[in-house]
Amino acid sequence: MYQSKEVRKGVFVLSLDNHVGIIEALTAFCEEKDITAGSITGLGAVSEATFRYLDPATNKYVDKTFSEQMEITNLTGNISRKGGKPYLHLHITASRSDYTCIGGHLLNGRINGACELFVESFEGAVVGRRADAETGINLYEF
Ligand code: FE
């Protein structure tokens, strides 16, 4: 699903395999390395990506899938824990064939080409999540 190299203590360079799902691969990586808090940055290309928009007026999620080849011009996110499992919060900006960009909260994406990431594990730290009724968001819990 991926190849990785620890370049410094707790800092990994990661290459996702072609055609994998970003969330599945990153979740597996966090489980393998037992990362309980951390940060993610990266770039690459996808053939499909699903974004999620939270409408604050209704607290309802609106999901939209874009099935087209796009460059990941930026992927940024954080790693925490919820219910004892890795919890990824990822935002993406992706450029289309006409070079315009779309972006948002990333629900999932399928790699088509490459995906090169840096993951930093905040070694020894645990950051949790709790569901917040007012915002409908799983907020950080320290
Ligand atoms: Fe978000």
Question: Mean per-residue pLDDT for 79-106?
Answer: 98
pLDDT band at 72 (very low <50, low <70, confident <90, very high): very high
- Interval 20-48: pLDDT, tens: 999 999 999 999 999 999 999 999 999 99
Q: What is the pLDDT of residues 76-88, one digit of tens each?
A: 999 999 999 999 9
- CA gap 52, 79 in Å, rounded: 18
pLDDT band at 105 (very low <50, low <70, confident <90, very high): very high
Distance CA 94, CA 110 (A): 13
- Separation of 10 CA from ligand 1 center, angstroms? 24
Entry pTM: 0.95
Ligand 1 centroid distance, CA of 126 (Å): 20
Confidence of residue 96 (pLDDT cuts 50, 70, 90): very high
Instruction: Check pLDDT > 90 for residue 93.
Output: yes
CA separation (Å) from 46 to 2, 64, 97, 107?
Answer: 15, 15, 12, 13
Q: Give strand ranges (E) for the chain.
A: 2-8, 11-16, 38-55, 60-66, 70-82, 85-95, 101-121, 128-132, 137-141
Ligand 1 centroid to residue 77 C-alpha, Å: 9
What is the average pLDDT value for the chain, to the nearest integer? 97
CA of 131 to the centre of ligand 1 (A): 14
pLDDT at 136: 86
Residue 3 pLDDT: 98
Q: What's the 62 CA to ligand 1 centre distance in angstroms?
A: 12
For residue 24, what pLDDT is reported?
98
- Residue 59: the pLDDT is 87
Q: How far is the CA of 33 from the centre of ligand 1 (A)?
A: 24
The Å distance, Cα 81 to ligand 1 centre, comes to 15
Per cent of the chain over pLDDT 70 is 100
